[in-house]
Amino acid sequence: MRILFSWFRAFIDISIFLGLIVGSGLSALGLLAFIWPDFDILNQFQLLFLALTVICSIASFIWPYRFGMLKSIAQWILLVPFTASFIILGPEIYRSLTAPTLDVTQVRGADSRALRIMSFNIYLSNWDAKGSLEAIKKYDPDLIILQEFPPNRYKKITEIKKLYPYQATCKSWRICTLGILSKFPLKDIDVQNFSIPKSRDPIHGRLLSATATVPGYRPLRLHSFHAEWPAPFREQAVHFERLRTYLDKQNKRYPDTILAGDFNSSGWSLTLNDFAKTIPLIRHSFFKATYPTPNLVVKRYLFLPAFLSLDHIFSSPSVPVFNVRRGYVSVSDHHPLLAEVLIFKK
C-alpha cells in the first residue's frame, strides 16, 4: 500500500511539474506578440495566467513533494510567468492606479457639466428585461452605450422610455445589436458596417453613432462599437483598421467624441494598445475586467470570475473622463463600465 501511495505522489509531482512547464510556456509565448501579432491571443489571458501562477507559487511551498528536487526547480520555473505577466500587465495596472478622479459636485454651476455614461453589453441571451432595467437604474447614467441590445425585447418595459426618451438603434437588430439611450436629445444618427464578407458573426464589426445635445453645451458625439473576437485573427484587425479610418474622417466634424463598447480584446493586449495609439482618441479604461459574470456558467457547472477586460471607453482630448469603474450585474455576461465625462458650455 505504501508503494502504491508513493507512486501516486510521484505521479502527482510529475503532473504538477509538467503543468507548470506548459502554463509558463503559454504565458511566455505571449511576449512573441511583440514580433508576431498572432501570439497576442495568449495575452488576453495573462490575468488568468497570473492568478494561476500565484496559486501555484503558494502550493509550491506547502505541497509535500515526493521528489524534493522538483520543488526548487518548479519555483524557478514560476519566475517565467511572473515576468511575462509583469511585462504585459504592468503598464495597465500602473495606468489604472494613476487614472484621474473627480468629485462631480465641484463642477456644478461652473462652465462645465458632468454626465455619467455607461457602456454595457446587455447580452443577446438575456431575456430578463426587468432585471436589465434594474441594473441600469442602480447606476442612473445620463447616457447608455449598449451592445447586443434587441429593442423589441424591451418595448413592454415602458419605464425605459420614460427614463431615456431619446434612443438610437439599428434598423435590424438581427445584424446590428447596438443602441444608445439618452436623457438628452439625439441627432445625426448613423450606422456603419466594418465587417468582412461571410463574417462568422454578423453582429460584430458594427458601429452606431449619435450626437447628444445638452442645451447650452457643446454637442457630444457618441459611438457604440462591437468588435469580433481575436480569433479568427484577421477579422478583428479589419474591424479596428476600418474603425480607425472612420474616426480619422469624423474627427474634424465632431471634436467632442466618446467611443465605447465591447472591443473583445483585453486592455493589456498589444492589439488593442496598438489600435489606441493610432486613433485621435484617448483610452480611459485600464485594468477593468468585465467578462465573464455569474450569468455565464460553462456547461452549467463551471463559473469563471471576470478575467478579461473586453469593454472600453475612449474620448477626445477635449472631453475629460474621470472615475472610470466597473459596475456589477448578474443579468448579462458582461459587467458594465461607468465613468463621468465633462462637457463644456458653447
**In the predicted model, what is the mean pLDDT of residues 234-247?**
91
Q: What is the DSSP string of 121-161?
A: E--TT---HHHHHHHHHHH--SEEEEES--GGGGTT-HHHH
Q: Measured between alpha carbons, how far is residue 331 from residues 54, 96, 118, 233 in Å?
A: 30, 26, 16, 29
Assess whether pLDDT exceeds 60 at residue 269: yes
Q: Measuring CA to CA, which residue among 192, 193, 211, 210 is closest to residue 202?
A: 193
- At residue 297, the pLDDT reads 63
Q: Measured between alpha carbons, how far is residue 61 from residues 7, 15, 20, 55 in Å?
A: 21, 17, 14, 10
- At residue 214, the pLDDT reads 92
256 and 223 Cβ atoms separated by less than 8 Å: no
Assess whether pLDDT exceeds 90 at residue 131: no
State CA 329 to chain mean position distance.
Answer: 14
Q: Who wins on pLDDT, 164 or 15?
A: 164
In the chain, % of residues over pLDDT 70: 85
Q: How many CB atoms lie within 10 A of CB 138?
A: 12
Cα-based angle 125, 126, 130 (whole degrees, multiple of 5): 160
**In the predicted model, what is the mean pLDDT of residues 272-286?**
94
Cell numbers at residue 107, please?
Answer: 463642477
Instruction: Give dist(CA 225, CA 259) in Å, integer.
Output: 7
Q: How many CB atoms lie within 10 A of CB 283?
A: 21
- At residue 143, the pLDDT reads 97
**In the predicted model, what is the mean pLDDT of residues 2-9?**
64
- At residue 14, the pLDDT reads 66
Assess whether pLDDT exceeds 60 at residue 332: yes
Strand partners, 39: none
**In the predicted model, what is the mean pLDDT of residues 175-201?**
88
Cell numbers at residue 330, please?
Answer: 448578474
**In the predicted model, what is the mean pLDDT of residues 198-205?**
78
Q: Measured between alpha carbons, how far is residue 262 from residues 86, 103, 119, 182, 311 in Å?
A: 25, 27, 8, 19, 4
CATH top-level class for 106-344?
alpha beta
CA dihedral of 262, 95, 244, 39, whole degrees rounded to 10? -80
DSSP H or E run through 132: helix 129-139
- At residue 40, the pLDDT reads 86
- At residue 29, the pLDDT reads 78
Q: Measuring CA to CA, which residue among 329, 264, 273 is closest to residue 296?
A: 329
**What are φ and ψ of residue 84, in 5° steps?**
-60, -45
Q: Measuring CA to CA, which residue among 236, 324, 244, 241 is closest to residue 279?
A: 244
Highest mean predicted confidence (pLDDT) among 90-104, 199-213, 254-268, 286-300: 254-268
342 and 270 Cβ atoms separated by less than 8 Å: no
pLDDT per position as a tens digit, 281-308: 999 999 999 998 877 665 455 677 888 9
Assess whether pLDDT exceeds 90 at residue 79: no
**In the predicted model, what is the mean pLDDT of residues 127-148?**
91
Instruction: Give dist(CA 236, CA 200) in Å, integer.
Output: 11
Q: What is the DSSP string of 89-102?
A: HHHHHHHHHT----
Give 294's DSSP letter.
T
Q: Measuring CA to CA, which residue among 338, 145, 146, 115 is closest to residue 219?
A: 115
pLDDT per position as a tens digit, 7-38: 666 666 666 666 667 777 778 778 888 888 88
Contacts of 127 (CB under 8 A, 6+ apart): 153
168 and 185 Cβ atoms separated by less than 8 Å: no
pTM above 0.85, yes or no: yes
| pLDDT-based confidence at residue 130 (cuts at 50, 70, 90) | confident
| pLDDT-based confidence at residue 211 (cuts at 50, 70, 90) | very high
In the chain, % of residues over pLDDT 90: 40
Mean predicted lDDT score pLDDT of the chain = 85
Assess whether pLDDT exceeds 80 at residue 56: no
